[in-house]
Amino acid sequence: MRVKMILPALTEATSPLFRPIKYALFPPLGLATLAGYLDPDDEVTIVDEHVQKIDTSDEPDLVVIQVYITSARRAYELADLYRARGAHVCLGGLHVTSLPQEAARHADTIFCGPGEDTWPRFLADLRAGRPARRYDSTERTLAGLPPVRRDLIDRSRYLVPNSIVVSRGCPHVCDFCYKEAFFAGGKSFYTQAVDAALAEIDRLPGRHLYFLDDHLFGNARFATALFEGMRGMGRLWQAAGTVQAVLRPGLLEKAVEAGLRSLFVGFETVNAANLAEQRKWQNIDRDYGAAIRRLHEHGVMVNGSFVFGMDHDDASVFDRTVEWAIGQGIETATFHILTPYPGTRLYERMAKAGRLLHSDWDLYDTRHVVFEPSRMTARQLEDGYWRAYRDFYRWGSILRGAATKPTVAGRLRHAAYAAGWKKFEPLWDLVIRAKQVGRALPFLETVLAGGLPSRPGGGNRSGDGRGVTPSLSGSRL
Ligand code: B12
Ligand code: SF4
């Protein structure tokens, strides 16, 4: 069977003028995971439109498309094209799960929720000549997961080819997050067996890893065993975690011993009232400053994530957030405009109150205002969002942030990391066009390694020295 798997891109990522580096960070791990279930004699390709053009002149038997909200329009366009040509078209992923009826109009088969249970079921049905129109995931386990088909990924096109996930979902329930809707109908947080996760890590070449798990620290027992198993592998890695997990005694130390050097932390807001509104219980009454100090003391750089536009935010929130982040010595920040994804509680609340402005999914990209804010105008919110980026990444701000570090080496590392992410965008653009992303960055791995409080154990168990791919944690999104 000829199988074509596609990750369509949103318009910005395919711009002929300028391609932000964030779209060349991570390969399509979801599709590579699903490819693991195909037969060895299936002819399969994975095409990621964020980094390559899609040739639509072919005639595959089966087309598999992963749909995010921001790429839904493009995904449907490709689906219609291949259906007209007689291929069996499957659509799955977050947006299909949120709006199955919308997606079904463009597909032969749709998939709701994670694919590990439904996808092999569908493949068996297809081979038996009776594929269904819709599959809903209910069994949630990562046991027996076949190896991710990384051989189908062109590593040289990505800054971080070694992205990995060893769990799914998250134990928390924040109102604005995709997670409750996506995992409805089954468990919403589960992990691989520790040995399987370690084996997957061991298979990855080079030194650097990026865990894309929503909350790698979410199950403390699993995380402890994983970090203990990773000790001595000589890895340098980045991940996402919560303030709560950082403050938990012992866990961060183990992560650092295993090679953690930069953490994406969802602070979300400096406005405490917003946390209750969004059911971000795990952040309430947590000392953000203490969490940052603890990370920095352990040589871990912080990528702070902030959301603007919650109901208690007024027009002063941008300056306050930026000043706070600089003063805390946060190395990189990711700002978002609050975006109600269909299927979330936030979306329901906004829809009920008549506050949604439109359903143009292209603009649900966390850079546009798609609802009526409560204490400022939509214009103020959008302008403030862009201003926050500009102000945080000014040279003056980078140097002020760097100056909070106690040592010269620490200051240099901060400046190199923050500037590398945002100050050299035109250079990244050139590197992407020259298809040299994968080779460009041993320098950044050096930056990550620069903060070690102590040296981790020696070499790389499986490493072959290739694919050393340091990253900037500047974007999880
Ligand atoms: C890595 C990442 C990115 C990367 C790369 C994406 C990629 N290569 O896949 C980059 C940096 C490009 C990115 C960009 C953006 N992202 Co992003 N990203 C993620 C992140 C952190 C991890 C994705 C991942 O690899 N997961 C692990 C794999 C194994 O899971 P998976 O991809 O979901 O695939 C599984 C299932 O979805 C399902 N499945 C998927 N497709 C199909 C198809 C079929 C047929 C079947 C059967 C099953 C199936 O089966 C797979 C195996 O279980 C997620 C958070 C998350 N936890 O998902 C956010 C997330 C997906 N991003 C999000 C957003 C908003 C964005 C941006 C708009 C942000 C921005 N402001 O620019 C952009 C635009 C994305 C776009 N192109 O349209 C949102 C999506 C919201 C939504 N409802 O669509 C998420 C959920 C973050 C969040 N919490 O809000 N992102
Ligand atoms: S902690 Fe993060 S991943 Fe978990 S529910 Fe909240 S926003 Fe989503």
Domain identity same for 163 and 129:
no
Domain identity same for 95 and 162:
no
Domain identity same for 296 and 345:
yes
pLDDT tens digit sequence for 51-61? 999 999 999 99
pLDDT tens digit sequence for 243-284? 999 999 999 999 999 999 999 999 988 888 887 777 776 776
Is residue 261 within 8 A of residue 295, CB to CB? The reply is no
Domain identity same for 92 and 50:
yes
Query: Is 90 exceeded by the pLDDT of residue 468?
Result: no
Domain identity same for 27 and 129:
yes
Is residue 468 a part of any domain in this protein? no
Q: How confident is the model at residue 476 (pLDDT cuts 50, 70, 90)?
A: very low
Residue with CA closest to ligand 1 atom 46: 92
Domain identity same for 323 and 403:
yes
Domain identity same for 172 and 100:
no
Is residue 325 a part of any domain in this protein? yes
> What number of helices (H) and strands (E) belong to the chain?
19, 14
pLDDT of residue 401: 97
3-state SS of 99-166 is: CHHHHHCCCCEEEECCCCCHHHHHHHHHHCCCCCCEEECCCCCCCCCCCCCHHHCCHHHCCCCCEECC
pLDDT tens digit sequence for 427-448? 777 777 777 777 665 766 777 8
Q: Is the CB of 9 under 6 A from ligand 1?
A: yes
Q: How confident is the model at residue 17 (pLDDT cuts 50, 70, 90)?
A: low
pLDDT of residue 276: 72
Q: Which residues pair with 205 in a beta bridge?
A: none
Tokens of 322: 């930026």
Amino acid, res. 18: F
Range of the domain at 75: 2-136
pLDDT of residue 344: 96
Is residue 307 a part of any domain in this protein? yes
CA 85 to chain centre: 33
CA 292 to chain centre: 21
- CATH number of the domain residue 199 falls in: 3.80.30.20
Q: How confident is the model at residue 463 (pLDDT cuts 50, 70, 90)?
A: very low
Write down how long the chain is.
Answer: 477
pLDDT of residue 285: 61
Residue with CA closest to ligand 1 atom 40: 93
Q: Is the CB of 304 under 6 A from ligand 2?
A: no
DSSP E strands: which ranges in 309-394? 332-337
Amino acid, res. 61: D
* Distance of CA 282 from the midpoint of ligand 2 (Å): 10
Is residue 58 a part of any domain in this protein? yes
Q: How confident is the model at residue 235 (pLDDT cuts 50, 70, 90)?
A: very high
Q: 57: closest CA among 90, 82, 77?
A: 82
Tokens of 364: 């649900």
Domain identity same for 360 and 211:
yes
Compute the C-alpha angle 215/446/460, nearest 5°: 70
| Number of domains into which the chain is organized | 2
pTM: predicted TM-score of the whole model, two decimal places: 0.92
Is residue 454 a part of any domain in this protein? no
pLDDT tens digit sequence for 76-121? 999 999 999 999 999 999 999 999 999 999 999 999 999 999 999 9
pLDDT of residue 203: 93
Q: Is the CB of 174 under 6 A from ligand 2?
A: yes
